[in-house]
């Protein structure tokens, strides 16, 4: 079943923003909360990744600002939901299976600093949130995309813990990897995401900080659901 954005919930426009660094567990948590509440899960990182794939396919370098600014306007990125799963379409092609690798992730981190890229994707994200109840995760959701979100979370974890989680994931997939190298990559990505000029990753003033280093996903989910309940949402 393919749907454009619709929600089973009739309180339109309720939004939960979850920001945080790479590997903090945002998508696992956001997906489960969306499922429990009957909301749409919007993975904004996937949009930056689809845009990065578009640049890579055109052999555009991460420092080629002119081409990035010009050509990002030509990328047709759309979001659909197939049986509740977010599907990112790049020029009509489902690219979900092509964007979850280090090359695309690094290109996304490097090119997401560009103002034109951000303008285009932020307006798509705001359109999605205007038409449904959403749990949206990313780097600038509480600070920039949805400044009036009903609940804002800044989800983080120690870089070593995040590296260990990623290491286990890769091991389970049979991919050879080195823990120290993964941690270095994570720290580099954090630095870039937190220090860019436009919409850097930071905790919104009214966001609740959750450090998941010593928490299970279930504990994080319960904490967030409690915050949702406190806003009067049933
Ligand atoms: O969450 P992720 O690893 O899929 O995101 C990939 C990159 O996209 C991330 O390093 C920075 C960028 N990004 C962003 O700038 N703003 C967002 N809201 C989401 C992701």
**Any domain includes 47:** yes
Supply the pLDDT for residue 173. Answer: 86
Q: What is the pLDDT of residues 192-233, one digit of tens each?
A: 999 999 999 999 999 999 999 999 999 999 999 999 999 998
Span from the CA of 43 to the centroid of ligand 1 (angstroms):
9
Q: Whose CA is nearest to atom 9 of ligand 1?
A: 109
Residue 114 is given by DSSP the state: -
Span from the CA of 193 to the centroid of ligand 1 (angstroms):
8
In 3-state terms, what secondary structure has residue 14?
A: coil
Supply the pLDDT for residue 83. Answer: 84
Residue 145 is given by DSSP the state: I
Give 8: exposed, middle or buried? Use CB within 10 Å, 0-12, 13-18, 19+: exposed
Closest atom of ligand 1 to 112 CA is: 15
**Any domain includes 230:** no
For the record, the structure tokens of 189 come out as: 């990505």
Span from the CA of 234 to the centroid of ligand 1 (angstroms):
31
**Any domain includes 229:** no
**pLDDT tops 50 at residue 10:** no
**Any domain includes 153:** yes
**Which residue out of 22, 31, 41, 108 has the highest number of ligand 1 atoms within 8 Å of its CB and is therefore the one to mutate?**
108
Tell me which residues have their CB closer than 6 angstroms to ligand 1. 22, 44-45, 48-49, 105, 108-109, 112, 138-140, 189, 193
The pLDDT confidence band at residue 12, using thresholds 50, 70 and 90, is low
When pLDDT is averaged across residues 177-181 and rounded to a whole number, the result is 94
Tell me the sheet residues that pair with 16: 135, 151
Q: What is the pLDDT of residues 54-100, one digit of tens each?
A: 999 999 999 999 999 999 999 999 999 988 889 999 999 999 999 99
Could you tell me the CA-to-CA distances from 109 to 106, 138, 228 in Å, in that order?
Answer: 5, 12, 30
pTM here? Answer: 0.92
CATH code at position 57: 3.40.50.300
Span from the CA of 185 to the centroid of ligand 1 (angstroms):
14
Q: Round to whole Å and give the CA distance between 6 and 103.
A: 33
The pLDDT confidence band at residue 170, using thresholds 50, 70 and 90, is confident
**Any domain includes 79:** yes
Structural domain count of the chain? 1
Closest atom of ligand 1 to 140 CA is: 18
Domain range for 42 is 4-224
Extended beta strands in the chain, E state: 2-3, 15-19, 40-43, 77-82, 85-90, 93-94, 134-138, 151-156, 208-211
**Any domain includes 174:** yes
Q: What is the pLDDT of residues 119-128, one digit of tens each?
A: 999 999 999 9
In 3-state terms, what secondary structure has residue 69?
A: helix
In 3-state terms, what secondary structure has residue 188?
A: helix
Q: What share of the chain is helix, strand, coil (3-state, %, to 5)?
A: 50, 15, 35
CA-nearest of 170, 151, 47, 5 to 102 is 170
**Any domain includes 199:** yes
**Any domain includes 232:** no
Q: Whose CA is nearest to atom 4 of ligand 1?
A: 45
Q: Whose CA is nearest to atom 1 of ligand 1?
A: 45
């Amino acid at each position: 079943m393919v749907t454009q954005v619709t929600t089973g919930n009739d309180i339109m426009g309720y939004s939960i923003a979850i920001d945080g660094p790479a590997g903090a567990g945002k998508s696992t948590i956001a997906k489960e909360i969306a499922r429990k509440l009957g909301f749409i899960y919007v993975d904004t990182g996937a949009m930056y990744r689809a845009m990065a794939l578009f640049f890579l396919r055109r052999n555009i370098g991460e420092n080629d600002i002119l081409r990035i600014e010009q050509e990002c306007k030509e990328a047709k990125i759309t979001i659909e939901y197939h049986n509740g799963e977010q599907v990112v379409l790049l020029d009509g092609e489902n690219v979900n299976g092509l964007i979850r690798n280090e090359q695309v992730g690094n290109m996304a981190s490097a090119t997401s600093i560009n103002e034109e890229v951000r303008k285009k994707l932020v307006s798509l994200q705001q359109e999605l949130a205007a038409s449904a109840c959403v749990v949206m995760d990313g780097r600038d959701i509480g600070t920039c995309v949805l400044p009036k979100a009903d609940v804002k979370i800044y989800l983080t974890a120690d870089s070593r813990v995040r590296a260990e989680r990623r290491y286990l994931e890769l091991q389970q997939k049979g991919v050879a990897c080195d823990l120290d190298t993964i941690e270095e990559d994570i720290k580099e990505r954090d630095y870039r995401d937190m220090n860019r000029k436009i919409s850097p990753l930071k905790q919104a003033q009214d966001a609740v900080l959750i450090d998941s280093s010593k928490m299970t996903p279930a504990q994080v989910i319960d904490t967030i659901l409690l915050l949702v309940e406190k806003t009067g949402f049933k």
